Amino acid sequence: MEIVYKYDESTPPKEITLGALEYIIKHLENSGYKFYKSKLEISKKINDFEFYIHIFGSDRNGKGYRTRITINCGIVNKKFDEGYFGNNLGYIAADGYREWELYGKENYANSVKDIIQKLDNYFIPVTNRFIDDIDDLVSDVVENGFYPNNKQMGYRINIDFLKRYGNRELLEKAIQKYYDSYISKHYEVHEKFKKILFELKSGQEIDPYVLSDNTYMAKTIVDNNLNIKIE
């Protein structure tokens, strides 16, 4: 793909960003993605799922010296208002948190190519599994967490996904693996988790505004009377 840089120091960062997005959109358009200019978002909907690629411009961008963007990708279930997957594209690609500089001919071309490559190699394959391979995806999430094809990301499950598409046995297995591999190995996290479990089992309410991932996991254990071995 030939990437043409047609801007100069007088071009607003948003215009440069939109130009770069045109290449990304063109690359994805045969996959059914559409561009929503007002939200700087590329997305598509299939069945209950929405797959989105959201672009954020840096507050420090300015004409003539900087046009930096970040990209977050995610998967949500619009029907049930549940989020199943999402992160900075750099993290998804096991490359750490990433920003891409679009100002300047070389930066522009390299960034557009890198973004497209990371989408093709990491995010799009995950979205395809939601469409064509959800049963095996559930099994992979139970075994490896929510990044089943990218073990460098570490273990992380998504409870709502397993509650919706798995079953009680799979949910127990996934939470037990997460507890064994992460919670039990970090003293402060472990003590807080046990405290929250005790409070919930005693009938205390948890403030929904401070509902962290581990708190929600504890609530899921109690609400569903799951059999999780806690040390």
* 43-48: long-range contacts, CB 8 A cutoff, minimum separation 24: 45/78, 46/130, 46/131, 47/131, 48/77, 48/78, 48/79, 48/80
pLDDT at 210 > cutoff 70: no
Convert the pLDDT of each residue in 63-107 to its tens digit: 999 999 999 999 999 999 999 999 999 999 988 999 999 999 999
Residue 74 lies in a domain: yes
pLDDT at residue 209, as a whole number? 65
Same domain assignment for residues 105 and 21: yes
Same domain assignment for residues 38 and 114: yes
Helix (H) or strand (E) holding 49: strand 49-57
pLDDT at residue 231, as a whole number? 87
Same domain assignment for residues 97 and 61: yes
Same domain assignment for residues 42 and 120: yes
In total, how many domains does the chain have? 2
Q: Please, which pLDDT band fits residue 229 given cuts at 50, 70 and 90?
A: very high
Same domain assignment for residues 64 and 164: no
pLDDT at residue 208, as a whole number? 66
pLDDT at 206 > cutoff 90: no
Same domain assignment for residues 90 and 46: yes
Same domain assignment for residues 84 and 31: yes
Same domain assignment for residues 26 and 125: yes
Residue 107 lies in a domain: yes
For residue 26, count other CB atoms closer than 10 A to its CB. Answer: 12
Convert the pLDDT of each residue in 1-56 to its tens digit: 799 999 999 999 999 999 999 999 999 989 999 999 989 999 999 988 999 999 99
**pTM (whole model) above 0.85:** yes
Residue 86 lies in a domain: yes
Q: Which residue has the tokens 């403030």?
A: 207
Same domain assignment for residues 26 and 118: yes
Same domain assignment for residues 179 and 77: no
Report the b/e string of 55-91 with b at 16+ CB within 10 A.
Answer: bebeeebebeeebbbbbbbbbbbeeeebebbbbbbbb
Residue 145 lies in a domain: no
Helix (H) or strand (E) holding 19: helix 13-28
* 144-150: long-range contacts, CB 8 A cutoff, minimum separation 24: 145/178, 146/84, 146/85, 147/92, 149/125, 150/92, 150/93, 150/94, 150/122
Q: Please, which pLDDT band fits residue 152 given cuts at 50, 70 and 90?
A: low
Q: Last residue of a domain, which of 82, 98, 132?
A: 132
Report the b/e string of 105-134 with b at 16+ CB within 10 A.
Answer: eebbbebbebbbebbeebbbebbebbeeee
Q: Over range 106-131, report the average pLDDT.
A: 96
Q: What does each C-alpha distance from 53 to 88, 122, 192 come to in angstroms?
A: 10, 13, 35
Average pLDDT over the chain, rounded to an integer: 93
Q: Which domain holds residue 201?
A: 153-223
Q: Over range 204-222, report the average pLDDT.
A: 83
pLDDT at residue 149, as a whole number? 74
Q: Last residue of a domain, which of 97, 132, 167?
A: 132
Same domain assignment for residues 124 and 58: yes
Q: Last residue of a domain, which of 99, 132, 165?
A: 132
Same domain assignment for residues 17 and 109: yes
Residue 144 lies in a domain: no
pLDDT at residue 147, as a whole number? 82
